[in-house]
């Protein structure tokens, strides 16, 4: 018989709200949530979590773990350690690795690496190329989703030809998600020649075009990292007329402006695709929260040396900072705790079909982030578990710290240390 654990004394965020509740874990699952469960289950091992708030482990649907090919800046072990430190218990890993994950052979290679090294649960994306529509459709059952780069970013994956885009939307299964990096490549190149880096029109063009494709083919479109008022207006209108579209926003687009890149403070360190935006666009994201289904980190580590080089790569690490930053936003009254949970755990699990993830409720996996909501601290580069070793949020004062993380009923992270063994993470798709 599997062990029973009773967490008592903490506040618990459930779909119904926030309340003092006990959580009974049996084996890998949550067996019950409610007051005074100790009376019913005297045999359970009792763990006092007084002073802590229990959230469902976050589900991050957009993470670049860099393996294979970029192990000098991250791999499945270091990236999933960073995830646990950030209260994230499930990550969906992007396919723009080296080699990219675009066929059965590369998918199986990446699956074996993840299975051996991950310390949190995971799923793997498969990448669209100009000519692999039939191949990726055949692998759809094993993949977290299809990732299509309409505009170029890190790596070689790019599907900037209309015919290939249509072929993918026609071929991919109707119940599976097609996640799109929506920046129009021709517009990106045009503006680059004018000395402008990816202005908002690049994102709006690609989003409008892709929404049309999704509507016509009745496929499930997920727009990655929306960052502008224009994208939100397009997605709002498409949702209203029944297009099957969801979208995500990143902590960096929600919390930083392009001034971070212009100013001396971060400069090229803040370079990311799509870029950080003007304050009006950032305000539009907060005002348009009803259209944004979920928060995803787009965790995209590069070394400081790479970021400070002559041709800095785009991307920012984000797994370890997402939860403290969102808890601070709760403190500031910008969203509620149930909103945070819906945005960063429940809805991501729903959109990507992870039936046992994202809620503290009976039958769900016992994935928990236990946070101290009143801990005040300053984010720094020291002690980060991501191999790249830096964060664009260094120096930010935050309120709320991840103290313990449970993965399927087992304590996987506590007091700043990962306790889970490499290989204890499980593939949530197959």
Number of residues located near Zn ion, criterion CB under 5 A: 1
Q: Which is nearer to Zn ion, 147 or 408 (CB)?
A: 147
Which one, of 180, 172, 182, 248, lies nearest residue 217 by Cα?
172
Binding residues among 202-241 for Zn ion as defined by CB under 5 A: none
Q: Which is nearer to Zn ion, 60 or 298 (CB)?
A: 298
Q: Which is nearer to Zn ion, 89 or 314 (CB)?
A: 314
Q: Which is nearer to Zn ion, 14 or 273 (CB)?
A: 273
**In the complex, what is the shortest distance from the CB of residue 238 to Zn ion, in angstroms, rounded to a whole number?**
22
Tokens of 116: 């051996």
Instruction: Give the contact letters, 344-383, x = binds to Zn ion (CB under 5 A), - = no.
Output: ----------------------------------------
**In the complex, what is the shortest distance from the CB of residue 191 to Zn ion, in angstroms, rounded to a whole number?**
20
Q: Which is nearer to Zn ion, 11 or 60 (CB)?
A: 60
**In the complex, what is the shortest distance from the CB of residue 252 to Zn ion, in angstroms, rounded to a whole number?**
11
Q: Kindly tell me the burial class for residue 193, based on how many C-beta atoms sit within 10 Å of its own C-beta (0-12, 13-18, 19 or more).
A: exposed
Tokens of 429: 């798709």
Q: Name 97's Cβ contacts closer than 8 Å, sequence gap at least 6.
A: 66, 67, 68, 69, 70, 110, 155
Q: Which is nearer to Zn ion, 293 or 298 (CB)?
A: 298
Sign of the Cα pseudo-torsion (16, 19, 20, 25, in order)? positive
**In the complex, what is the shortest distance from the CB of residue 403 to Zn ion, in angstroms, rounded to a whole number?**
29
Tokens of 250: 């990143």
Q: Name 305's Cβ contacts closer than 8 Å, sequence gap at least 6.
A: none
Is 261 a binding residue for Zn ion by CB under 5 A? The answer is no
Q: What is the DSSP string of 250-267?
A: -HHHHH--THHHHSTTTG
**In the complex, what is the shortest distance from the CB of residue 205 to Zn ion, in angstroms, rounded to a whole number?**
19
* Residue 270 DSSP label: G
d(CA 114, CA 71): 13
**In the complex, what is the shortest distance from the CB of residue 94 to Zn ion, in angstroms, rounded to a whole number?**
5
Binding residues among 282-301 for Zn ion as defined by CB under 5 A: 298
Instruction: Give the contact letters, 20-59, x = binds to Zn ion (CB under 5 A), - = no.
Output: ----------------------------------------
Residue whose Cβ sits closest to Zn ion: 298
Question: At which residue do the structure tokens 């403290």 appear?
Answer: 324
**In the complex, what is the shortest distance from the CB of residue 61 to Zn ion, in angstroms, rounded to a whole number?**
10
Q: Which is nearer to Zn ion, 277 or 401 (CB)?
A: 277
Q: Kindly tell me the burial class for residue 421, based on how many C-beta atoms sit within 10 Å of its own C-beta (0-12, 13-18, 19 or more).
A: exposed
Binding residues among 298-327 for Zn ion as defined by CB under 5 A: 298
Q: Which is nearer to Zn ion, 231 or 298 (CB)?
A: 298
**In the complex, what is the shortest distance from the CB of residue 368 to Zn ion, in angstroms, rounded to a whole number?**
27
Q: Which is nearer to Zn ion, 76 or 413 (CB)?
A: 76
Q: Which is nearer to Zn ion, 5 or 83 (CB)?
A: 83
**In the complex, what is the shortest distance from the CB of residue 68 to Zn ion, in angstroms, rounded to a whole number?**
17
Tokens of 58: 């976050």
17 bridge partner residues: 14
**In the complex, what is the shortest distance from the CB of residue 63 to Zn ion, in angstroms, rounded to a whole number?**
8
Tokens of 296: 């995803």
The answer to whether the beta carbons of residues 364 and 55 sit under 8 Å apart is no
Q: What is the DSSP string of 144-208?
A: S-EEEESS--SSS-----HHHHHHHHHHS-TTSEEEEE---HHHHHHHHHTT----HHHHHHHHH
Q: Which residues bind Zn ion (CB under 5 A)?
A: 298
């Amino acid at each position: 018989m599997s062990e029973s654990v009773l967490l008592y004394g903490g506040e618990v965020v459930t779909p119904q709200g926030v309340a003092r509740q006990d959580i009974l874990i049996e084996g890998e699952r949550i067996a019950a949530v409610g007051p005074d469960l100790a009376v019913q289950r005297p045999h359970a091992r009792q763990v006092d979590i007084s002073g802590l708030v229990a959230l469902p482990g976050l589900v991050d649907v957009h993470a670049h773990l860099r393996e294979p090919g970029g192990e000098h800046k991250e791999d499945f072990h270091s990236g999933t350690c960073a995830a646990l430190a950030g209260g994230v218990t499930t990550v969906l890993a992007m396919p723009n690795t080296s080699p990219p994950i675009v066929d059965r052979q590369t998918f199986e290679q990446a699956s074996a690496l993840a299975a051996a090294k991950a310390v949190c649960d995971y799923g793997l994306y498969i990448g669209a190329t100009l000519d692999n529509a039939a191949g990726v459709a055949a692998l759809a059952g094993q993949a977290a989703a299809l990732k299509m780069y309409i505009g170029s970013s890190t790596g070689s994956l790019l599907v900037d030809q209309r015919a290939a885009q249509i072929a993918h939307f026609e071929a991919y299964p109707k119940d599976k998600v097609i996640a799109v990096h929506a920046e129009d490549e021709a517009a990106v190149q045009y503006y680059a020649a004018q000395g402008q880096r990816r202005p908002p029109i690049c994102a709006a063009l690609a989003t409008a075009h892709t929404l049309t494709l999704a509507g016509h083919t009745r496929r499930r479109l997920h727009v990655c990292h929306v960052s502008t008022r224009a994208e939100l207006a397009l997605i709002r209108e498409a949702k209203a007329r029944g297009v099957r579209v969801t979208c995500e926003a990143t902590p960096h687009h929600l919390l930083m402006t392009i001034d971070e890149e212009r100013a001396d403070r971060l400069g090229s360190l803040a370079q990311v695709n799509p870029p950080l935006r003007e304050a009006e666009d950032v305000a539009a994201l907060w005002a348009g929260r009803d259209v944004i289904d979920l928060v995803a980190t787009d965790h995209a580590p590069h070394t400081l040396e790479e970021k400070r080089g002559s041709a800095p790569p785009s991307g920012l690490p984000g797994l370890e900072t997402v939860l403290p930053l969102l808890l601070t936003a709760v403190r500031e009254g910008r969203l509620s705790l149930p909103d945070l949970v819906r945005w960063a755990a429940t809805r991501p699990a729903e959109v990507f079909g992870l039936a046992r993830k994202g809620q503290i409720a009976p039958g769900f996996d016992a994935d928990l982030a236990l946070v101290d909501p009143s801990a005040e601290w300053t984010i720094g580069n020291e002690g980060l578990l991501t191999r790249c070793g830096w964060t664009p949020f260094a120096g930010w004062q935050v309120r709320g710290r991840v103290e313990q993380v449970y993965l399927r009923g087992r304590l996987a992270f506590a007091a700043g240390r990962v306790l889970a063994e490499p290989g204890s993470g499980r593939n949530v798709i197959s």
